[in-house]
Amino acid sequence: MEWPFHTSVFVLLFHISNLMAFLAFLLRDQLQLRLLMGVSLFLQGLYYYAIPGGPLFDPLFWKVVSFGANLMMIALVFGGRLDFGIPEDLRGLYERMAVLTPGQFRRLTAKTVRIKGGGAAILTDGMKPDRLYYLLRGDAQIIKNRQTATLQSGAFLGEIAFLSELPASATVVLNDGAECIAWNRAALLQLMKKDAAIDIAMRGFFNHDLAYKVARSIPIAPAPEAPRRSSVGG
């Protein structure tokens, strides 16, 4: 087959396609990296198909396969950045976890369960919890040493026990009308190990949450002592 292009054109095409692949590896943004790699793979495939004496089917085959795999990953990365599928009542939590993409947040909250107030305690002082809770709406009662404090929505419950693997340090009861979401502790820890961004976001939120609780804590008066029995008259 006679080709209208000079051989030097194919040499230039080869070097440009590989230069683009090299530059792609210098990018930190996954979507930009894969888009540039997609262009590079396309040009490399064109080179192996149109080169004089070609097509060279062996390298062309792997360029086509790599291009297809890269295209699939572009769709996954792009889809992970699309802001859909996040329930309205979780928007506040998502916006506070600004380091997470919509896809990462959907993955974080995919296996949570919802618990409504008015039932039994969700955390019991001295017992090791197997869940981590986030208070979505309403109030919760924090009971410790016969003293009670009220915690409003927008806070985690049981995060110290979650991080330390120690028993809960207080009993927590959801008030009527309150609702929280709950993660299985083992599953969430596994997810945090797999995804560094989720791990960083959760630990950062825990630190912010603990600081907020300390700053907003309401002094609790000690529980009244029982009246002493008079010794007069036995």
Query: Does the pTM exceed 0.85?
Result: no
The amino acid present at 201, given as its one-letter code, is: A
Tell me, letter by letter, the H, E, C secondary structure of 189-204: HHHHHHCHHHHHHHHH
Here the tokens at position 128 are 């090791």
Smallest CA-to-CA distance from 94 within 107, 76, 113 is with 107
Q: Please state which of the ranges 2-6, 42-46, 47-51, 172-176 shows the lowest mean pLDDT.
A: 2-6
Q: In the predicted model, what is the mean pLDDT of residues 179-203?
A: 92
| CA distance linking residue 194 with residue 188, whole number of Å | 10
Q: What is the assigned CATH class of domain 88-216? A: mainly beta
139-144/147-152 β-pairing: antiparallel
- List, for residues 96-151, the tens digit of each pLDDT value: 887 888 888 989 999 899 999 887 899 999 899 999 999 999 999 988 888 888 88
The amino acid present at 135, given as its one-letter code, is: L
- List, for residues 69-97, the tens digit of each pLDDT value: 988 888 877 776 667 678 888 888 888 88
Beta bridge partners of 115: 180
Other Cβ atoms within 10 Å of 232 Cβ, number: 5
The torsion defined by the Cα of 33, 38, 43 and 45, in degrees rounded to 10, comes to: 130
Q: Please state which of the ranges 79-93, 140-154, 183-197, 213-227 shows the lowest mean pLDDT.
A: 213-227
| CA distance linking residue 77 with residue 21, whole number of Å | 18
Here the tokens at position 16 are 């440009």
Q: What is the DSSP string of 123-192?
A: B-TTS--SEEEEEEESEEEEEETTEEEEEESS-EESHHHHHH-PPPSSEEEEPTT-EEEEEEHHHHHHHH
pLDDT at 220: 37
| CA distance linking residue 17 with residue 49, whole number of Å | 14
| CA distance linking residue 45 with residue 90, whole number of Å | 45
Percent of the chain predicted with pLDDT > 70: 85
| CA distance linking residue 203 with residue 164, whole number of Å | 12
Q: Is the model's pLDDT at 221 over the cut of 50?
A: no
| CA distance linking residue 98 with residue 79, whole number of Å | 17
Domain residue extents for the chain: 7-80, 88-216
- List, for residues 22-46, the tens digit of each pLDDT value: 998 888 888 888 889 999 999 999 8
Q: In the predicted model, what is the mean pLDDT of residues 202-215?
A: 79
